[in-house]
């Protein structure tokens, strides 16, 4: 059984069920990465039918986009590229994006295009997940870029339902990127049904809950320099949440089989939701990519298995996981 594909909402774009998240490829938030290993992972993903690759202007201060741009050289047509804009030039004093005019916004997107070494972006997303004075600037800029053929679709990365509805007030948005996992089922209440009704393509990040649902962490796990997950131990309150998550993981181990890891179960759970278009687990190595692809190759979770997960974390339950 090979890769399967789904429509990205009403965009007319087909995407692989398993995509590739390139936050870690930036090398500044998830510990050390090797550019050549990331490139090999991209090559491997393409060979296995992966088409969807997600990055952002701030990942590695642009390094992730540049790395993807180099990987696409001579074969741009094989990639569905999603990137984001908003945080790179965020004005902390004003609490808003520095892209305060449409011209400034379009100039910012030109920088995305240059780093990606391409003349168009398949899916461009607002990376600011709260309503601020520049939202209308972004929306006008998205629509101008779409009309000019610089982007094929646009959307937003947020877990805030009110912001999502405001962003899509005219029904012209195309996608939502959101954190969704067994540990964080909060979007099942309102957001995912809304996306289905509106025809929004749904891109899932956080399906493995920043590694927790891989089942390899313990109470003694320590994260290295440059890995933001160190805060789970540095902050007593977050450490207690982490310990509770580990208890949930233990209950889920019942679903592990010789051919199916806990991480695979986590990915299959997300893919079982009909609102979901694609899931983008973070990748730094070929081995990680290979492991994640198992979720698309095995039979889906059964009704009984999904019911067991419901008994561990109720539908619509769980907690929002930072960054939301």
Q: Which residues contact 273 (CB under 8 A, 6 or more apart)?
A: 180, 188, 192
Report CA-CA distances (Å) from 236 to 31, 55, 240. Answer: 22, 31, 6
Spatial separation of the C-alpha atoms in residues 123 and 85, rounded to whole Å:
11
Q: Torsions phi, psi of 245, nearest 5?
A: -60, -40
Give 155's strand partners: 125, 175
120 catalytic? Reply is: no
In contact, 50 and 41? CB cutoff 8 Å: no
**Catalytic, out of 5, 44, 59, 239:** 59
In contact, 77 and 103? CB cutoff 8 Å: no
Q: Where are the beta strands (DSSP E) in 262-314?
A: 278-279
Spatial separation of the C-alpha atoms in residues 20 and 31, rounded to whole Å:
18
Spatial separation of the C-alpha atoms in residues 28 and 14, rounded to whole Å:
31
Q: Which residue has the tokens 């796990």?
A: 221
Q: Which residue numbers are catalytic? A: 59
């Amino acid at each position: 059984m090979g890769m399967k594909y789904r429509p990205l909402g009403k965009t007319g774009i087909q995407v692989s069920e398993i995509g590739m998240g390139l936050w870690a490829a930036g090398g500044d938030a998830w510990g050390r990465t090797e550019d050549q290993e990331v490139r090999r992972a991209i090559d491997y993903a393409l060979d296995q039918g992966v088409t969807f690759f997600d990055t952002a202007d701030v990942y590695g201060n642009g390094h992730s986009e540049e790395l993807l741009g180099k990987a696409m050289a001579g074969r741009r047509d094989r990639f569905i590229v999603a990137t984001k804009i908003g945080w790179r030039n965020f004005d902390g004093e004003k609490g808003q994006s520095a892209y305060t005019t449409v011209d400034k916004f379009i100039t910012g997107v030109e920088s995305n295009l240059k780093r990606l070494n391409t003349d168009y972006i398949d899916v461009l997303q607002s990376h600011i997940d709260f309503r601020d004075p520049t939202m209308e600037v972004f929306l006008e800029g998205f629509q101008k870029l779409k009309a000019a053929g610089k982007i094929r679709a646009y959307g937003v990365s947020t877990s805030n339902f009110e912001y999502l509805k405001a962003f899509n007030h005219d029904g012209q948005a195309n996608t939502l990127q959101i954190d969704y996992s067994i540990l964080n089922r909060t979007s099942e209440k309102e957001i995912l049904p809304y996306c289905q009704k509106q025809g929004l393509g749904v891109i899932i990040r956080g399906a493995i809950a920043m590694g927790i649902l891989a089942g390899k962490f313990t109470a003694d796990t320590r994260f290295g320099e440059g890995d933001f997950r160190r805060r789970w131990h540095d902050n007593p309150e977050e450490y207690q949440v982490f310990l509770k998550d580990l208890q949930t993981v233990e209950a889920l181990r019942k679903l592990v089989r010789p051919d199916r890891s806990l991480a695979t179960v986590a990915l299959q759970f997300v893919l079982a939701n009909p609102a979901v278009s694609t899931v983008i687990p973070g990748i730094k190595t070929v081995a990680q990519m290979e492991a994640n692809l198992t979720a698309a190759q095995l039979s889906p979770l059964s009704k009984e298995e999904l019911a067991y997960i419901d008994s561990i974390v109720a539908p619509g339950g769980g907690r929002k996981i930072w960054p939301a």
